[in-house]
Amino acid sequence: MGYKVAVVGATGNVGREIFQTMMERDFPADEVVALASHRSVGHEVSYGDDVTLKCQDLETYDFKGTDIVLSSPGAAVSAKFAPLAAAAGAVVIDNTSHFRMDPNVPLVVPEVNPEAIAGYTKSGIIANPNCSTIQMLVAMKPLHDLAKIKRVVVATYQSVSGGGKAAMDELFNQTKGIFVNQSPESNRKIFTKQIAFNVIPHIDSFMDDGQTKEEWKMVVETAKVLDPDIKVSATCVRVPVFIGHGEMINLEFENALDVDDAREALREAPGVVVIDHRQDEGYVTPAECAGEDAVFVSRIRKDPSVKHGLNFWCVADNLRKGAALNAVQIAEILARDYLSK
């Protein structure tokens, strides 16, 4: 017998990718339910190539009998419905930022801290980290095991799909508009500046100390998932790319680390693919990682400006490993090791 799974935010970027990922990985579901806002009731979403599901209203849905909820309706909506779903007996795996730092909610990247899933019993909720944190930690984990990371300096190049469907539409419409002499302002609702043919060093709101909330998430989520002793300095930048986040990562280690040993550890690490040839085309860009599951690592090289330093470039599909795949992997472990069916 399989599980009854509800996907909340079923019409969104992440929700649609969750259906695709579940189908591709043959998730053991007997029944799958699509939930979104009242605006989408009756709208059809695809579950694989052959099945379509009609969206139901999250507001009126009864979670009794639902085993697993894969959730991405935005933080405010999750804050309200997730505890209700958990109280009805479901385990909620939430993609939004709302529960990530709650001490009663495990924050999980399966390649890094799968053992934390056991903590789901405290609240019935498991959180997925931010997309930028997930790909960074998948790549950092094998190197931390090897030589103990002291500090990371990361600059992100984040695609617009991280901001949802409306953000993708804005890049598309603004780009098209510029070619027919429309002002970018006439096609600007989501981003704080023009995104077409531009980059914006600002994601999420500003905090009192000058960093943005997106940057802060990378700091505190690294501490919760990997190691509270690692110092993180992050700068998060939005770029005019539809899917796939890039990150330039600079690491400083406690112990000596040979570049070839680092490359080998990354090659063997689960979820990582190393493509690192020091020549034209010898690295991966966001356009190539869209639709892929792996975190790709390229441009691995020593940082000679500190005693034990390493630089590398890393890209991943933010809707896949940065959201849907990570959530489905957690659900797979939950189904296999913790829930009985």
Please identify every residue annotated as catalytic: 131, 245
Strand 51-54 vs strand 56-57: parallel, antiparallel, or unpaired? unpaired
Nearest-angstrom CA–CA distance, 14 and 22: 12
- Is 161 a binder of ligand NAP (CB under 6 A)? yes
Q: Rounded to the nearest 10 degrees, what angle do helices 213-225 and 131-147 cross at?
A: 40
Q: How far is the CB of 244 from ligand NAP (least distance, A)?
A: 10
> Toward ligand NAP, which CB reaches closer, 100 or 150?
100
From 74-82, 108-116, 189-197, 272-280, give the range in contact with ligand NAP by CB under 6 A: 74-82
- Is 226 a binder of ligand NAP (CB under 6 A)? no
Q: How far is the CB of 8 from ligand NAP (least distance, A)?
A: 6
**Selected binder of ligand NAP within 28, 53, 74, 146 (CB under 6 A):** 74
Residues in contact with ligand NAP, shown as a per-residue x/- string from 89 to 108 under the rule CB under 6 A: ------xx------------
Burial category of 313 from C-beta neighbours within 10 Å (exposed 0-12, middle 13-18, buried 19 and up): buried
Of 341, 332, 322, residue with least CA distance to 246: 322
Nearest-angstrom CA–CA distance, 328 and 331: 5
Distances in Å between the alpha carbon of 16 and those of 9, 13, 60? 8, 6, 21
Longest Cα–Cα distance of the chain, Å, equals 60
**Selected binder of ligand NAP within 3, 5, 6, 12 (CB under 6 A):** 12
- Is 165 a binder of ligand NAP (CB under 6 A)? yes
Residues in contact with ligand NAP, shown as a per-residue x/- string from 106 to 135 under the rule CB under 6 A: -------------------------x----
- Is 164 a binder of ligand NAP (CB under 6 A)? yes
**Selected binder of ligand NAP within 5, 22, 69, 77 (CB under 6 A):** 77
Query: How many CB atoms are closer than 10 A to CB 318?
Result: 29
33, 97 Cβ separation under 8 angstroms: no
**Selected binder of ligand NAP within 5, 15, 33, 150 (CB under 6 A):** 15
**Selected binder of ligand NAP within 14, 32, 226, 297 (CB under 6 A):** 14
- Is 318 a binder of ligand NAP (CB under 6 A)? yes
309, 317 Cβ separation under 8 angstroms: no
Q: How far is the CB of 20 from ligand NAP (least distance, A)?
A: 13
247, 162 Cβ separation under 8 angstroms: no
Cα 179 to chain centroid distance, Å, stands at: 32
> Toward ligand NAP, which CB reaches closer, 147 or 174?
174
Kindly list the residues in this chain that would bind ligand NAP in the complex (CB under 6 A): 9-15, 36-37, 39-40, 58, 72-75, 77, 95-96, 131, 161-162, 164-166, 318-319, 322-323
